[in-house]
């Protein structure tokens, strides 16, 4: 497998909204490490477009149900890009997406670089590096007939099937926040739709930050000051259509909204 050729195929699928059952066998990554090599090549191509910079990371498969569906034992990451990251209340063109899978997620902004450590980070030890908590929505988008059958390496290769990110107002992170028990309500077109919790995200969204702090150095990376993190869905996902307005209410942390025209 040539990572650049696979990245070219994934980029063409994105641009043409071309739906496939799976990647051709000659282009398919066999391992998660292979998937990250392709992801790096794909992200480089996405960053070559105007007004595109890498701004942080998204974590996928941060709940047990998703891990079972993808036959993985833990999460994997993708890259957040400025070109597809938006402020609260954005109206996105529905036609820009193949799918509009809306996920209510706890976001964070790092306040300091996280140094590599011989002792794995935990939620408690990584918390001092966090500057802000952010109510966020991720729009997941992919071009596979069934994402559950293609495998985690392919999903990771496709930048963890990230479509867009919408962030609400930042709130200074305080150690007194108990995000593991923090409720989230998803509201669709003005009506309550589903409820979620920080407990659905590796037990606590800060566990995802710790996981990234431990995982990224394995790939020659690290969490840096100013980078943003989206930690995975807290509630059942909503498949949005044109005309839908989806709001995620994080209580004292604020809310965030996206609409599709």
CATH assignment at residue 213: 3.90.850.10
Q: Could you give the angle at the alpha carbon of 231 between the alpha carbons of 101 and 128, nearest 5°? A: 160
Q: By residue range, what is the domain housing residue 221?
A: 3-260
What's the CA gap between 153 and 18, in Å, rounded?
A: 19
Average pLDDT for runs of 10 along the chain of length 261: 97 96 96 96 95 96 78 88 97 97 97 96 97 98 92 95 97 92 97 96 97 96 98 95 98 97 97
Q: What is the pLDDT of residue 200?
A: 95
CA distance readout (Å), 234 to 38, 97, 182, 183, 189: 28, 22, 10, 9, 19
The phi and psi torsions of 139 (rounded to 5 degrees) equal -105, 110
| CB contact at 8 A, 162 and 58 | yes
**What is the number of domains present in the chain?**
1
Q: pLDDT tens digits, residue range 143-167?
A: 999 988 899 999 999 999 999 999 9
Q: pLDDT tens digits, residue range 50-94?
A: 889 999 999 998 987 777 777 777 899 999 999 999 999 999 999
Tokens of 73: 């034992």
Helix (H) or strand (E) holding 211: helix 205-215
Question: pTM, whole model, 2 decimals?
Answer: 0.95
Q: What is the pLDDT of residue 88?
A: 98
| CB contact at 8 A, 106 and 225 | no
Q: What is the pLDDT of residue 120?
A: 97
| CB contact at 8 A, 106 and 138 | no
């Amino acid at each position: 497998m040539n990572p650049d050729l696979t990245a070219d195929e994934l980029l063409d699928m994105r641009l043409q909204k071309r739906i496939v059952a799976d990647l051709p066998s000659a282009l398919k990554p066999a391992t998660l490490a292979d998937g990250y090599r392709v992801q790096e090549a794909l992200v480089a191509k996405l960053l070559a477009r105007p007004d595109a910079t890498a701004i942080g990371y998204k974590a996928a498969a941060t709940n047990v149900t998703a891990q079972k569906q993808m036959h993985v034992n833990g999460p994997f990451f993708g890259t957040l890009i400025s070109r597809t990251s938006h402020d609260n209340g954005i109206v996105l063109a529905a036609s820009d997406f193949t799918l509009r899978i809306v996920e209510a997620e706890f976001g964070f902004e790092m306040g300091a670089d996280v140094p590599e450590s011989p002792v794995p980070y935990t939620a408690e030890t990584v918390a001092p590096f966090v500057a802000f908590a952010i109510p966020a929505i991720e729009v997941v988008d992919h071009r596979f007939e069934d994402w559950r059958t293609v495998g985690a390496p392919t999903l990771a290769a496709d930048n963890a099937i990230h479509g867009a990110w919408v962030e609400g107002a930042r709130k200074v992170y305080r150690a007194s926040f108990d995000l593991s028990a923090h409720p989230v309500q998803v509201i669709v077109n003005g009506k309550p739709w589903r409820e979620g919790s920080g407990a659905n995200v590796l037990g606590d969204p800060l566990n995802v930050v710790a996981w990234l702090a431990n995982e990224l150095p394995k790939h020659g990376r690290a969490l840096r000051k100013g980078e943003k993190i989206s930690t995975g869905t807290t509630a059942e996902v909503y498949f949005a259509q044109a005309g839908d307005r989806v709001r995620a209410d994080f209580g004292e942390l604020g809310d965030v909204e996206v609409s599709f025209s």
